[in-house]
Structure 1
Amino acid sequence: MAEKRQIYSVSDINRKARMVLESAMGELWVEGELSRVTIHSSGHWYFTLKDAGAAVSCAMFARDNAGVAFRPKDGMQVQMLARPSLYEASGRYQLIASEMEEAGKGNLQEQFEKLKAKLDAEGLFSRDRKKPLPLLPKKIGVVTSPTGAAIRDIINVLTRRFPNIEILLAPVTVQGPAAAKSIANAINYLNKRNVKQPIDVLIVGRGGGSIEDLWAFNEEVVARAIAESEIPVISAVGHEIDFTIADFTADVRAPTPSAAAELAVREKGDLEDEVSLYQRRLNESLVRMQRDFQLRLNRAAHSYVFREPAVLVKQYRQKILSLEMRMGDLLKLESQTIFQRLERSSTRMEYLLESGVLQAHQRVDELSLLMRHEMERKAERSRQRFQSLESQLRMLNPMAVLGRGYSLTRRPDGSVVRSAEDVKKGDALITALADGKVVSKVTEKE
């Protein structure tokens, strides 16, 4: 007896193939070039991923592509996390993507660029909001790890440059999920504390590391805390080649923690040398001023004024008398001049008033004549207009045509008869002629 066959449908085979494929490989990262990108109205993406030697159909559903920071297009090189699968309806092998990044530009870098653009648009990087560093800070706040190399470098540089400066450490976590919140809280705390115990400068940072190690200083919460700080902030994150969002929002960016300490405070010896220099210059200026005043005093003591003061007083008295006499003459002359000007002004005003009155009378006469002529012209135009309208009215009078042999036939109710169809045998009609009316009765119609 023949063995009974087990028959599978095509759907069964494709389903089994899909299950084997998905369970055997799982998710994996794959890189390639996008082509034939189709963005469906449902929000799903369908495209082909290819390289120099092969191509594979791919799909990325709306729930997954909502988190992608860019819009895919043909020719774009991408990396994506995907699981191999099989589209049962056609038996086509495909990749189902759950994450996608531009190749050569990791997700962290994308986040960095996106946040940088956002904060820049808000004006947090503007030079106008940067605060200057104080010339001689008394107390410096440091926000960093208490166990890292950064705090040791900062303390060494500060104490070497200015041994008696006060350093206040706000210990924080500089790496890991809780780091950003820890740094922001420390900055906010030092600003609140600053009301009662002033802090002149903040140094915020850590030593070098990878982009993942430094990522806390790229978080928005840290950037906003730095931007809102009333205390000037020096960012000191990583090495000279490292740049973080904190560097852009801080008032001053230092390439290293040690450099930040150097920017925060000057060398005490340099300041002392400057003070000594200014003191010497001040003493020299005072000596010169004293010498100048002494010379001026000696010249004044030997001058004519001090030797013969009575003569000087007599000269000034004579000058005052001369000025009094001159002032009297000027006042007398001025009063005469004013009186003459008033007389001339009065005469001229009388003439102008008389002339103005005569001109006004003449103008009134002219206007009266013009008004009479204008009224006559308007009356003539109105009379001509009336005659024209009267003539038109006579021409439009329907009864005027009766004088030329025409007649107007009406029914007894006054309606006009316009056609033979409007009357019937036996109807009474009233015919209007030029000199009277004729009443008739219809006996026959043709």
Structure 2
Amino acid sequence: MENPQIWSVSDVNHAVREIVEGALLPFWMAGEVGSLTLHRSGHAYFTMKDAKSQIRAVYFGGAAACTRLGIANGSMIEAFGNLSVYEVRGEYQFGIRQLRPAGVGDLRMRFEELKRRLAAEGLFDQERKRPIPKLPGRIGVVTSPSGAAIRDFLQIINRRFPNVNVRIYPCAVQGAGAAEQVARGVEFFNRTDGADVIVVTRGGGSMEDLWPFNEEILARAVASSRIPVVSAVGHEIDFSICDFAADLRVPTPSAAAELVIGRREEMVRELDRSEKDMRYALESALSQARARLDRAAGSFVFREPAHLVRMRRQQLDELDTRLGTAAERFHGQFRARLERLESTLLALDPRRQLERGYAILFDPAQEKPVTSAANVAAGTRLVARLADGSLNVTVDRPGSVPPPPFAAV
């Protein structure tokens, strides 16, 4: 018996590569992006997957294209290329030559058509934009309560002004019906006069993910809001119809928080700067007056009546004292105003009420708080929000039990 041929691993992988690469012509393939890596070499590595399978993919020199197109994990794409084998690891992969977001052509056309139509109506005109309040007492946020956007927003708020009153209207920010829910959130704050400024926000994503913020119903709700609206949808490179209709567009949820709340430290520094500027101006004026007086006192006219010079100098000293007192009073008034504002924000914090034993009842089906027992039927399931969590409750006999007297606080 002849000795059988013994193949090396490299020989096997090379043979498989020739078979695989010669079996199929280049083709288009659709799938969802996962495990995306944009290498510093300029290449892009990721997987393409569907509900049942996945395949490794490589786009040589495609990192810049992926960034430009906003390709991220979870993006649906269509890629043109061919199968190949990476002999080093014995793995087959899809080598990409061209790439595009799935369905982006139709969505982009719809986006541009709606943008042109609403712009022609004047919905995006700068004259319609309302100023954003510098320090709002109540901030209404329309977003998903479980998303990263609200966590980023609240983190900035709690770090800079922990006692500000933030009211969240929970809604879906992606998928069917999301645009209607966000529009209802904007209308809710307008209807209830529940905010001084409204922030509409969500994190970034593909064009399909952000599409609810390109719907006409939301654009009209934002444009017709009598309360200023800040749009913080997506990331730096993302733009939506909601951005154009809003009074102000910011790139991220964190940027929205920084804009609407400002910095307490900056306000204190501004007061300090004003005080220093005022003192400098007063001291400069006083110095000039003293110099003029000294020059006049040295003249021939004032050599004899020296008592007049002494009297003027005494008057200047008294003026100096009064100006210093006025400066201190001015500074104290500004600090007292700042402390009153801070006290007001603390008093308006809804968590203080919950910590005293009160609760807020929410009707999940109606997506709003319960304000009247007459509107709640027996057997209705409600959520009671307390200071340290929430409880699920079921209504027994609405209105049959008189409310307990309110305890003095």
TM-score band by shorter chain is 0.3 to 0.5
Which of structures 1 and 2 has the larger relative contact order (alpha carbons within 8 angstroms, sep 6+)? Answer: 2
Which structure carries more helix by proportion?
1
TM-score by length of 2: 0.44
